[in-house]
Amino acid sequence: MIRLVPAIDLIDGKCVRLTKGDYDTKKIYNEDPLDVAKQFEDHGIQYLHVVDLDGARLGHIVNYRTLEHIASRTSLIIDFGGGIKEDGDLEIAFNSGARMITGGSIAVTEPDKFATWITKYGSKKIILGADCNNKKIAIHGWKETTDKDLIPFIQGYYGQGITKVICTDIQRDGMLQGPSIGLYKEIKKNVPLIYLIASGGVSSIEDIEKLNEAGIPAVIFGKALYEGRLQIKDLLRFT
């Protein structure tokens, strides 16, 4: 059964969503992310994906107080990303209640440092963030598309011990046009043992069902919930 991982994206401590990672498209959905997190927990959700969008833009962790607020008042298993660039950022995130850290840009810009994190904390705590634009890895809050091909990038870190990867197709993110199931199947074909967490484009319960049928282990979603296209009660069959 596919694992459900709702997302809370943070700007100024508020629950927001962007479209294709564009900060100019920011829409605030709730002033209190804890209230949102508690709703997820009340409906049997166990996991939560928290993204520090301020951190992603500024290059260092910013919204750790909000992370701490959620982690200390719910039992949700939180993975946290955005602005994790230094060892100190990692420590702040873990000390604030994150159970897992997602590293994306750092895995591209400072691969040796990211590799030390994998060794130090282990694959249960470090997730690879593989955000892509037309199958090329994108970094720095998606403002820069690199020349690194998605699948070899994932394969390289799988060889270094990574077991979980979050893959976001930027062209689908926030568009509510369905996830890139073909892309995720291609990843699974080339890296069959990786725990793949699909992200971007989920617009309905049918999209989650299709990902489940395709054998994708987990899915991150957000905007569809906040826009009312996906009801929390609809997710009960997967919890």
Q: Which of 9, 79, 173, 207 is catalytic?
A: 9
Three-state SS letters, 116-169: HHHHHHCCCCEEEEEEEECCEEEECCCCEEEEEEHHHHHHHHHCCCCCEEEEEE
Q: State the Cα–Cα distance between residues 21 and 89, nearest whole angstrom.
A: 22
Q: Which of 52, 54, 131, 173 is catalytic?
A: 131
Three-state SS letters, 72-130: HHCCCEEEEECCCCCHHHHHHHHHCCCCEEEECHHHHHCHHHHHHHHHHHCCCCEEEEE
Whether residue 149 lies in the annotated active site: no
Question: Residue 165, by phi and psi: left (phi above 0), alpha (psi -120 to 50) or beta?
Answer: beta
Whether residue 22 lies in the annotated active site: no
End-to-end distance of the chain based on CA atoms, in angstroms?
Answer: 9
Q: State the Cα–Cα distance between residues 231 and 208, nearest whole angstrom.
A: 12
Active site residues: 9, 131
